[in-house]
Chains A and B, each alone.
Chain A
Amino acid sequence: DGGITQSPKYLFRKEGQNVTLSCEQNLNHDAMYWYRQDPGQGLRLIYYSQIVNDFQKGDIAEGYSVSREKKESFPLTVTSAQKNPTAFYLCATTPLLGYTEAFFGQGTRLTVV
């Protein structure tokens, strides 16, 4: 069953903790992306990767980190340096960076308690 799987769907974090959001794809797409959505807002780009072992900062990368050790996986770590991490996080893929149609996972809702 092809697609993009994000886990967990819901995540609760205590202040000062790091948490990692998972994004896995079996579409054989080279490029992967992380976006953040706040209530009533559009999606803002956090990080993207066009190939294994390479990634670039987006517009709001501060307080986040990523890795791309495998083509299928692009985990996002929300660090304690992120001042306001409560948001909805979406992962996307495209066959190549900046080409053709993008597809999204179902998202992870992160809440700081």
Chain B
Amino acid sequence: GIQVEQSPPDLILQEGANSTLRCNFSDSVNNLQWFHQNPWGQLINLFYIPSGTKQNGRLSATTVATERYSLLYISSSQTTDSGVYFCAGDQAGTALIFGKGTTLSVSS
């Protein structure tokens, strides 16, 4: 099966800073998603982004499918952005495979 590698594993920021999270895949994937896991454990869908670029407020994501990676950008970070960010992808007829996540801590 595919392998998903996320970097960095941990990230500590001051409020207002920008950051980039990266996700690499060992093989091509059909569906690529970014999630934010809140303190209660729920996975919040951030982006469904098999290719191209999307933006939602202070967050944006870019997937370069031919090079098997995706980037999540967080601008002007806030304390509420803290948590764990996961990327996941799948191939036809299979289930989503997750990376180990990036733990983001934003302090005021």
Contacts and interface: CB of A to CB of B under 8 A. Distances in A.
Contacts, number: 62
Interface string A78-113: 000000000010101000011111111011010000
Contacts of B90: 98
Contacts of B35: 104
A101 B48 contact: yes
Contacts of B86: 42-43
Range of interface residues on chain A? 20 to 34
Question: Which 10 pairs from chain A and chain B are nearest by CB?
Answer: A101-B48, A42-B98, A42-B100, A104-B43, A43-B98, A48-B95, A107-B41, A98-B93, A106-B42, A98-B92
23 contacts: A33-B95, A35-B98, A37-B41, A42-B101, A45-B95, A45-B97, A88-B41, A97-B93, A97-B94, A98-B31, A98-B90, A98-B93, A98-B95, A99-B30, A100-B31, A102-B33, A103-B45, A104-B35, A104-B43, A106-B40, A107-B41, A107-B42, A109-B41
